[in-house]
Chain A
Amino acid sequence: MEKELNPGKRGDVELVADDLDEALLLEMFRKAYTIRRFEQRCVELYREGFIRGYFHPYLGEEGVAVGSIAAIGRDDYIVSTHRGHGHCICKGGDLKLMMAEIMGRETGYCNGRGGSMHIANLDDHNLGANGIVGGGIPIATGAALGIKIKKGGEVVLGFFSDGAANNGVFGESLNLAAIFDLPVVFVLENNHYAVSTPVEYSSRVTDLARRADGYGMPGVTVDGNDAVAVYLETKKAVSRARRGKGPTLIEAKTYRHGGHHVNDPGLYMDQAAMARWKSRDPVDLLRKRLNDDAKIREIEEEVESELAEAVEFAKKSPAPSVEEFLASIEDY
């Protein structure tokens, strides 16, 4: 059983959502809704045989990507995970190119070579998803080191989940980031499961943000279903990183809306907890905050048509040419 979040205690930020710019809230809603619909559509396309391989939906976790990435700029970097479509969308990913990649088409972000688990969008400084759990944590740290060496002003958001936090690279990377005051924010998406293994089984300390203390950086736990809360907390960490004060570990608690991947019914999940988390759905929370039905409908319609266009584009896109591929790898 997961512990209930204490909504009053989210780091030391006073949560004043009302202060937030209306345009920003609308943008957050647009992103959250886009992720929701994109993922739902992908699940359908997977069942129809258009998508293969592994597909790990981000459904239910939208608040984390939406809130955290809203707190950085276009030049800032992100490093993503195997559950990375939401991050990609928030970092400016083009739905057409994403969909084409996930369908393995030549027009996709990685020319059909990467697929769902490996989408990278370097133009928007999304350094890519990863099929290796935890594999992105040192890369995020290293990107921050590179920025420091280049004397750049950017920051890096490194995404990973609770399971990845048990991998050795987590501790080693946090230590490096801390001792060199690197401009990186570690965003730990605690969705309570690593495939079927609950976080209560894999860690004695279930508030994983507490681990930050051992490395000498701030660690905060935030409600990951509340994009605004994630935004405010990330904003603070990003400002700290930009001022050369070093990394922060943000643990955003959230919950998957289903199994680990499309073919996993997730029967091992705690149904009562799932119902509680679903009653605080990240997309609905933003919708309620906005309280502007006309605007919301307009955004939803725009997203729907953008998505339909993306699916159409991907379906019509050519498959990669086998001959060209073979010629390109001759001396790999």
Chain B
Amino acid sequence: MAEMMYREALNMALREEMQRDPLVFVIGEGIGQRGGSYKVTDRLYEEFGAHRVIDMPISEASFTGAAVGAAIVGARPVVEILFIDFSMLAMDQIVNQAAKYNFMSGGKGHVPMVLRTQGGAGNGLAAQHSQSLEAFFYHIPGLKVVMPSVPYDAKGLLKSSIREDSPVVFIEHKLLYMTKGEVPEEEYLLPLGKADVKRSGNDITVVTYSYMTLKCLEAAEVLEKEGIGVEVVDLRTLTPLDKETILESVRKTGRALVVHEACKRGGVGGDIAAMIMEEAYDDLDGPVQRVAGKNTPIPYNIDLEKVCVPTVEEIAEAIIRMV
């Protein structure tokens, strides 16, 4: 197994899928010869040409819609929207068109497209380039939402997403691209809707996803020295949601903390917490808690930015309070 960066794992997934299936193509801004701003499409243009690695004008609504149309007639587009913030421009095509098509056509039509995008705070990019907007997509029936935290998952899940027959919103995190991990060079797939217990423990379950998984693991490591066993459940996909793995873990530990970077209000965490209370109330030794981002746009100043998203210390403190 080779050690590689998250972005290289994504690149490998795209390359393998494009080699396997001539109907897979990628579109986005500056993804061709330039290889994309985060280098996820690096060297694909050289291998597959302008016909399948297509640079788009700045027109998120129409090129996302174009992908929906292409998918309906059987192609398999992978759209890159550079920042999740810009996916807001394409919301009609994602929410009203892509997400509904299969349902409204009585199950006869399919939209096998992947919308790759990137979110999260870090590096002082300010309010319009730092958002965590997954709850918008999570809320919409008809969309799958995938948010891998490590290179291994990124490759396996992107490949599965491309083979999926319904629209998938695949959300990366800007601070993950350069993180490294073991990734097999050969083909493998990870199923959507299967969480991964990234660390096991008996005292508390921490349910999380994307970049926050790394912070939760850090907190768990610190707490282990204090004799607290933290089980970290990395959801990997928000829809489908792997309720089984969450509930199984909660039944074992009796406590649950949900951690995400997005604002707490209206966030995915509230929904997961409610689900745990509805389905595993009798197994709980206390109320489910949340650690989440502050209810604010992300400020430019780096010290202010830092306090808006959960820190390792905050996560650890919450856990200590709960056990």
A: residues with CB less than 8 A from B are 52-54, 104-105, 110, 112-115, 117-118, 130-135, 163-164, 166-168, 194-197, 201-203, 268, 319-320, 322, 325-326, 329, 331-332
9-residue interface stretch from B10-18, B51-59, B214-222? B51-59
B123 at the interface (CB under 8 A from A): yes
List A contacts of B128 (CB < 8 A).
Answer: 117-118, 130-132, 135
Contacting A196 at CB < 8 Å: which of B30, B60, B300?
B30
Within the assembled complex, what's the spacing in Å between the Cα atoms of A164 and B33? 21
Cβ contact within 8 Å between A164 and B58: yes
9-residue interface stretch from B224-232, B237-245, B301-309? B301-309
Contacting B126 at CB < 8 Å: which of A115, A135, A164, A320?
A115
Cβ contact within 8 Å between B304 and A325: yes
Within the assembled complex, what's the spacing in Å between the Cα atoms of A110 and B295? 19
Cβ contact within 8 Å between A114 and B62: no
Cβ contact within 8 Å between A104 and B127: no
List B contacts of A201 (CB < 8 A).
Answer: 55
Contacting B303 at CB < 8 Å: which of A163, A322, A329?
A322
Cβ contact within 8 Å between B294 and A329: yes
Within the assembled complex, what's the spacing in Å between the Cα atoms of A117 and B125? 9
List B contacts of A117 (CB < 8 A).
Answer: 126, 128-129
Cβ contact within 8 Å between A113 and B57: no
B299 at the interface (CB under 8 A from A): yes
Contacting A53 at CB < 8 Å: which of B86, B126, B294?
B126
Cβ contact within 8 Å between B304 and A320: yes
Could you tell me the distance in whole angstroms from the C-beta of A114 to the nearest C-beta in chain B? Answer: 6
Cβ contact within 8 Å between B127 and A52: no
Could you tell me the distance in whole angstroms from the C-beta of B227 to the nearest C-beta in chain A? Answer: 32
13 A-B interface contacts by CB (under 8 A): A104-B301, A104-B302, A112-B299, A117-B128, A117-B129, A118-B127, A134-B58, A196-B30, A203-B57, A268-B33, A320-B301, A320-B303, A332-B294
Within the assembled complex, what's the spacing in Å between the Cα atoms of A104 and B85? 21
Cβ contact within 8 Å between A197 and B123: no
By beta carbon, the residue of chain B nearest A194 is: B58
B43-78 contacts to A, CB under 8 A, are 55, 57-62
Interface centre among B62, B125, B128, B300 (most CB of A within 10 A): B300
Cβ contact within 8 Å between B59 and A194: no
B88-146 contacts to A, CB under 8 A, are 89, 123-129
Cβ contact within 8 Å between B304 and A113: yes
Given A114-B126, A197-B55, A319-B301, 14 other A-B residues pairs in contact with their CB atoms under 8 A: A110-B300, A115-B124, A118-B127, A131-B85, A195-B30, A195-B37, A196-B33, A196-B34, A197-B57, A201-B55, A325-B304, A329-B294, A329-B296, A332-B295
